[in-house]
A and B are shown apart, each in its own frame.
Chain A
Amino acid sequence: MPLTATTDVTPPVEGAYRPFGLTRCTTTEPESGYDVSGIDYEPGSQMSVRDGRPLIDQPILGTAVQCTVTTTEDMQAWTDQVTDS
């Protein structure tokens, strides 16, 4: 489709991802990163550990697991906040 004088090619607002065809979008808080300090992989159990204990047996409030784009396809990336049971 050829560009016309009325075609909007305004780049997204800096620092925020805005859909091409909208004047705004739902924004989120900037990611502060995930606290993965002290988390290791234990080859014997083939699971993650922290302080020598399985990560999944410990309170991990605030630790988010990021879905990444897989080798084939992923639906959408969102942070997976795991909370205390």
Chain B
Amino acid sequence: MKRENWLILILAVVFIFPMACAKKQVVVPSAVSEQPAAPKAEAEKAITVTGEKEEGAVEGLEEKISEEELAKQEKMKREEILKQEIASFENEDIYFDFDKYNIRPDAAEVLKRKAEWLKQHPNVHILIEGHCDEWGSEEYNLALGERRANSTREFLINLGVNPECVSTISYGEERPTVVPPAYCENVRQFLLNRGLRPNHAPVSVTGTKITLEMINTCESAWAKNRRCHFVVVKY
């Protein structure tokens, strides 16, 4: 074999081998599942070794420790406050109209507050989850959910939030926060027969099996699922 050929062969092995490894292949007899992550045992072992206590601490370090303790407590307090702020940040979703992904005025209010907080905490990284109600096809809703997440992200960036701290994901209609009661199917039929979409004007229900209460329940369930949810992934 010529020298060049050997070189090509070695290069091929060097490049192709990691590529082949990138795709995990697993053989499972009955159903197909993906390979589990690297065995945990090794990692745990490593932790227990370094975590062993050093006995016989030197005297005279007590004062220093108490100072450190104070700083620690201060830090913990700050962390506690931050955690509460994160919880309230994550608790507040923004909502969208049916089959739409533009930011509504009520959502804009929420986003302005969120943007201020994010700018005060430049270390915080967030994930915006786009969600949809169950009207329409799964595939279309995956795309719609991403549109919602993207327009939310754009809105935050326009308010001065660092783009690198905001990522998005779409869950389409796969993770509804509220599952509407079964009778909502009839309510939807009722509304559509009157040419109404979600977010409609007041409607008369006299002479039907539908009550205003039922309509409100369904409407609010659907509306709650047309949302973006916020998750703090790093702080």
- Whether A and B are associated in the same complex: the answer reads no
